[in-house]
Amino acid sequence: MKFKKIEDVENFLKVINQCEHDVWLESVYGDKFNLKSQLSQYVAMGALLGERGDELELFCQTKADEARLLNYFESHPQIL
User: Domain span at residue 26?
Assistant: 9-79
The C-alpha atoms of residue 53 and residue 46 are separated, in whole angstroms, by 9
At residue 52, the pLDDT reads: 66
Enumerate residue ranges in the chain where pLDDT < 50: none
In a domain, 31, yes or no: yes
In a domain, 4, yes or no: no
Global pTM value: 0.85
Domain count across the chain: 1
